[in-house]
Chains A and B, each alone.
Chain A
Amino acid sequence: MADAARDLTLTNVTKRFGDFVAVDDLSLQVPQGSFFALLGPSGCGKTTTLRIVAGLEAPTAGTVAIGGDDITGLRPYKRPVNTVFQSYALFPHLTIFENVAFGLRRRGAAHITEKTERMLDLVELRDYANRKPAQLSGGQQQRVALGRALINEPGVLLLDEPLGALDLKLRRQMQIELKRIQTEIGITFVHVTHDQEEAMTMADTIAVMNAGHIEQMGPPAELYESPRTTFVANFLGQSNLIEAVVVDTSGSDVVVDCHGQKVGVVGDRSHTDQGQAWLGIRPEKIVVNPAGDDATAASVSGHNVLGGGVVTDVSFVGVSTQYLVRMPWGQEVMVFEQNTGRRAPLRNGDQVNLEWSADHAFLLDADQDAQAGVVFEDDR
């Protein structure tokens, strides 16, 4: 499977269930050997996309190819693709050894015992070879599922929320493990998840999915720093979205009027160039300063200041303090401040200015819902 350019390519894939469009004309290319994450809320079509690649669902339209080979019509058992299922789907009647060896036996491979033992070593389950899946913990079962798929050296390994059932601590460890194994063996991983941190920790490339299509695709840092849609801005981390009007696009920074105060946004993060817009700024990029000594602060080139804020809520969370600042137009802006001890924490009612670098904001088309993709803590 090591031949060059065995990229996974989806071309105009659509899947309808009755009237419901689960996947809507989706095209993407996953380079061979990369760790690719499909990220989105439940119901966005990411699992359906995965099942189409695995052959467990047939697309209504479009094609799936690995390298140059069109596999759209192939039955699952004829595809060079293996899946780590969300439920693990381990065979309860077989030992761990036989679970891992299952794929090799079906294909009549040679040296099954040695290969299986090597895989059990890789996932560190050698001592559990003769147990049944029910005798293992969740994390161990997860590793069996991984080993059972990896041993077949698939062209593409599909992972359907494989860490969803694990507790937080184990999940973090498994994320690092998965990334290590992927780097070690160089197989293409396509990882479906609704956990944005998980996607950012592991993936080289993330495709954020919403309502059956891809909102934005790129390296995690690029998606985070320069989202193109309000959905991505809200779903990947948190964002303050402030109404603004574009007033000047002549300089290197786009200048917007934000409720009477002018601020700049660096050109390549401005995804709209006229009229109404959403000015986006991440909470941790904002610096709050007491307004007292410098009440008439104004933005200078590259450095933005929004004045007139009043602190309405202070939550101390250890490494940082989270402030809510009410702006003159009534909106509450969220600010995360590292507890460096630079100055005493602010208190409710303090007058403050918000400041940030023009490099750190982004500008989005105002036609979108500012709440799109907002994740409530309960849903995580």
Chain B
Amino acid sequence: MSDLVADDVAVEPKPRRRRGKGWLLLLPGMLWLLVFFIVPTVQLFITSLYDPNGSYEFGYAMTWHFQNYATAVTDNVDLFVRSFTYAGIATVICLLLGYPLAYAIAFKSGRWRNVMLVLVIAPFFTSFLLRTLAWSAILSDRGVVTSLLQTVAILPDDGRLLATPVAVIAGLVYNFLPFMTLPLYASLDKVDPRLIEAAGDLYSSPFTGFRKVTVPLSMPGVVSGTLLTFIPACGDYINAELLGTTQQYMIGNRIQAAFLKERDYPAAASLSLILMAIVLVMVIVYIRRAGTEELV
């Protein structure tokens, strides 16, 4: 077969793309990012180094006060930990709920596929705030869910759902589920059913075929879905505000309060940047571990 090998050469390196045009297409997006992301972030960074003794009314002095960061962390360790815990739990639950859902839509829905996809994004037709308020009604002390759980003795008679971590995490799960489901669906839909047939032909039971073929091929969806859920969930404050109490407050609530109520801008800015940095590091580690760049 040696003459064969010589004949069919492996894929050649891609031809070099023409420069210029690509940059032109990037320009509007880059301008947008410059004005609405880079500039505010730099502004935020500058603010975070202001003298904390200044105030909104009398102005701040730029003193390169790096101590702001240390104070922000030491004062709010519990809030950071709680934020990442809640966001992490919510992400895992979203994955457990979203994967079967996306799998069913991609492989089993038949002619109901489009209807089901519309249903997944249907919540977006109502405002985020209203939907979360609706959840406070659903989980309220006299609500059906609470009394049902009390009746079957999962909750004690004086137990509550609202104002507990359960309510906040449930709210996060509900609000971010579509962000998990849609990327999962997109990558599951791309899995060629013939590959699953081939796995069956090669002695894989349906479950082994799922584990060895479907799951690895859907990893890009798992990674983007978890990121799209975890990152915004870390900074969320609406769910904790509406479904929890100060006992369930997350770092978002603290930042919101510092910015809008206490008007302690240096503290708010340094908290924001710390959150951003921690999330960024976690995401980089996660993507490295997941090794998605290896996937086709």
Residues of chain A touching chain B, judged by Cβ–Cβ distance below 8 Å, are 54-56, 75-77, 81-83, 85, 87, 89-93, 102-103, 106-107, 123-124, 128, 131-132, 134-140, 148-149, 152, 169-170, 173-174, 177
Contacts and interface: CB of A to CB of B under 8 A. Distances in A.
Interface stretch (B191-199, B238-246, B254-262): B191-199
A93 B295 contact: yes
Contact of A152 (B10, B200, B202): B202
Contacts of B213: 91, 93
B192 A106 contact: no
A106 B208 contact: yes
B202 A103 contact: yes
Interface stretch (B1-9, B78-86, B93-101): B1-9
A173 B201 CA distance: 27
Interface string B261-296: 000000000000000000000000000000000111
A40 to B, nearest CB: 22
A170 B8 contact: yes
Given A77-B201, A106-B208, A140-B10, A91 B195 contact: yes
A124 B4 contact: yes
Nearest to A140: B8
In this complex, which of B4, B199, B204, B295 has the most chain A Cβ atoms within 10 angstroms of its Cβ?
B4
B106 interface: no
Nearest to B197: A56
B90 interface: no
A77 B296 contact: no
A47 B201 CA distance: 15
Contacts of B296: 92-93, 132, 134
Contacts of B204: 77, 106
B198 A137 contact: no
B67 interface: no
Contacts of A106: 202-204, 208, 212
Contact of A93 (B2, B9, B216): B216
B201 A137 contact: no
Given A75-B200, A89-B192, 9 more contacts: A81-B201, A83-B201, A87-B192, A102-B199, A128-B10, A137-B10, A137-B11, A174-B4, A177-B1
Interface residues of B, number: 30
Contact of B8 (A55, A83, A138): A138
A106 B205 CA distance: 9
B105 interface: no
A279 B204 CA distance: 53
A140 B7 CA distance: 10
Contact of B2 (A83, A92, A124): A124
Q: Which 10 A-B pairs have the closest CB atoms?
A: A89-B198, A139-B8, A106-B203, A103-B202, A137-B8, A76-B200, A124-B1, A92-B296, A89-B194, A93-B216
Contact of B203 (A56, A152, A174): A152
Contacts of A132: 296
A89 B3 CA distance: 25
B217 interface: yes
Given A77-B200, A106-B202, A173 B4 contact: yes
Contact of A103 (B1, B3, B203): B203
Interface in B1-30: 1-5, 7-11
Contacts of A134: 11, 296
A283 to B, nearest CB: 33
A315 B5 CA distance: 37
A131 B201 CA distance: 23
Contact of B198 (A91, A140, A177): A91
Nearest to A131: B10
Contacts of B201: 54, 56, 76-77, 81-83, 85, 149
Most buried by A among B4, B197, B203, B208: B203
Contact of B4 (A82, A136, A139, A152): A139
Interface string B175-209: 00000000000000000101101111111110010
Contact of B202 (A75, A102, A137, A174): A102
Nearest to B217: A93
A305 B153 CA distance: 101
Nearest to B193: A89
Contacts of B195: 89, 91-92
Contacts of A83: 198, 201
A87 B217 contact: no
Contacts of A89: 192, 194-195, 197-198
Interface string B207-225: 0100011001100000000
A8 B296 CA distance: 38
B274 to A, nearest CB: 37
B203 A107 contact: yes
B205 A77 contact: yes
Given A91-B213, A92-B217, A93-B296, A137 B205 contact: no
A195 B208 CA distance: 36
27 contacts: A54-B201, A75-B205, A76-B197, A77-B202, A83-B201, A87-B192, A89-B195, A91-B195, A91-B198, A91-B199, A91-B213, A92-B217, A93-B213, A93-B216, A102-B212, A103-B203, A123-B1, A124-B1, A134-B11, A137-B11, A138-B8, A148-B202, A149-B202, A152-B202, A152-B203, A170-B8, A174-B4
